Amino acid sequence: MTAPLHNFLITKSENPVDLLNAATRLFGGSIATSPLDGLCHGDHELRGVSADDFAAGYFASPLDVRVVSAAGRRSYFVNIGVAGTIEATRGSLRATLDSATAGVVNPGDTQELRPLGAGTRFLGLRIDAALVDQEFAALTGHPPVSTVRFDFGLDLAKPKGRAVRLLVRSLVEQLDSEDPLFQRPELLRSQLRCIATALLLAQPHSHTDELRDGPQPSYPRSLRAALAFIDANLAEHIGLGDIAAAADCSPRTLGSAFRDRLGLSPMSYLRNLRLERIRTDILGSTDQIGTIAYRWGITHLGRFAREYHDRFGELPSDTAARR
């Protein structure tokens, strides 16, 4: 991967503060030197592009940095070496990043990146956690009951890791292309979905066993019927009795099936899925939050706002502000 994002220069300066400010604007959160008084001079270059659910940046700088996630934004970061090596930490975990090893950082994690030479270059990719959650749901038939937390070091030399690297390279090549077709949000989002799916299948994480268990068709017939009914009637005012009737079983039996297979109750599953759809609509349209919420069967906006905050770590208005 040589000189990526050549059409998206943000800053090229001998002042490291320019790089820190530009990186903070691109990725959000707090980006500072590590240690805090460790400014170093030299050439500091950042190229990058961002949208609602992702950002990509190419860094050419000898600066050691400490990155703290933005409050209220759940994001994953993937850092891939382009030239040289980087000593990276995620909490107490350490890894050496280069063209054969990437680092994956989970929502809420603090990371430190220390280039081990003046010629070090790396590519950083931010992916919104909602996108990973959606791809997890597509693979398993249900959203994750807790945050998917990936292992830190990703081996890009192995076949599964190579797939991730090739998909990231394809995304960058599309961004660098001057063909307007490749700048369309639909194509970019499709690429991001592929990257998220590849990460879920290639990199061990806290829900890997659920992917090994197989997708939704392995569930009992009653559970499959309940999931299909919920998906088809998500915008309607449905209750546990309605779902149980569609599944042709008692509410108690249905509740046991949900807890055994999905780790949560039928109504919790319905609520989480409804919140995911609302979040997608908030980011993808200019409609008022209340209009979107009512469209998906919400009747109490105050309770909805609390549940939304509990699920995503931010209020619906915070999500709308990023449109």
- The CATH number of whichever domain residue 109 belongs to comes to 2.60.120.10
For residues 83 and 199, state if they share a domain. Answer: yes
Region 263-285 average pLDDT: 86
**Does residue 3 fall inside a structural domain?**
no
Confirm if 112 and 88 have CB atoms less than 8 A apart: yes
**Does residue 225 fall inside a structural domain?**
yes
**Does residue 2 fall inside a structural domain?**
no
For residues 145 and 256, state if they share a domain. Answer: no
**Does residue 201 fall inside a structural domain?**
yes
Q: Helix (H, G, I), strand (E, B), or coil: what is residue 18?
A: helix
Region 8-29 average pLDDT: 90
| Residue 216 in this model has a pLDDT that exceeds 50 | no
Confidence tier at 215 by pLDDT (50, 70, 90): very low
The whole-number pLDDT of residue 2 equals 53
For residues 237 and 202, state if they share a domain. Answer: no
| Residue 138 in this model has a pLDDT that exceeds 90 | no
For residues 45 and 110, state if they share a domain. Answer: yes
For residues 39 and 178, state if they share a domain. Answer: yes
DSSP code per residue over 59-128: EE----EEEEPPTT--EEEEEEEEES-EEEEETTEEEEEBTTEEEEE-TT-EEEEEESSTT-EEEEEEEE
Higher pLDDT, 290 or 184: 290
Distance separating alpha carbons of residues 215 and 106, to the nearest angstrom: 24
Region 181-190 average pLDDT: 76
Confidence tier at 141 by pLDDT (50, 70, 90): confident
For residues 62 and 110, state if they share a domain. Answer: yes
Confidence tier at 36 by pLDDT (50, 70, 90): very low
The whole-number pLDDT of residue 177 equals 84
**List of residues 6+ apart from 155 with CB closer than 8 A:** 100, 101, 161
The whole-number pLDDT of residue 40 equals 63
| Helical segments of the chain, H only | 16-27, 129-140, 159-176, 185-202, 208-212, 221-232, 240-247, 251-262, 266-284, 289-295, 301-312, 316-320
For residues 158 and 245, state if they share a domain. Answer: no
For residues 96 and 237, state if they share a domain. Answer: no
Confidence tier at 11 by pLDDT (50, 70, 90): very high
Neighbours of 259 (CB within 10 A): 13
Q: For the domain that residue 314 is a member of, what is the CATH number?
A: 1.10.10.60
Region 300-304 average pLDDT: 95
Per-residue pLDDT tens digits for 64-92: 999 887 766 789 999 999 999 999 999 88
For residues 179 and 297, state if they share a domain. Answer: no
Quote the domain boundaries for residue 159.
Answer: 9-210
**Does residue 4 fall inside a structural domain?**
no
**Does residue 17 fall inside a structural domain?**
yes
For residues 141 and 192, state if they share a domain. Answer: yes
For residues 271 and 160, state if they share a domain. Answer: no
For residues 125 and 200, state if they share a domain. Answer: yes
**Does residue 233 fall inside a structural domain?**
yes
The token pair that represents 213 in the structure block:
């268990």
Confirm if 48 and 56 have CB atoms less than 8 A apart: yes
Provide the number of structural domains found in the chain: 2
| Residue 126 in this model has a pLDDT that exceeds 90 | yes
Answer with the one of 180, 210, 240 that is the final residue of a domain: 210
Answer with the one of 210, 239, 256 that is the final residue of a domain: 210
The whole-number pLDDT of residue 203 equals 94
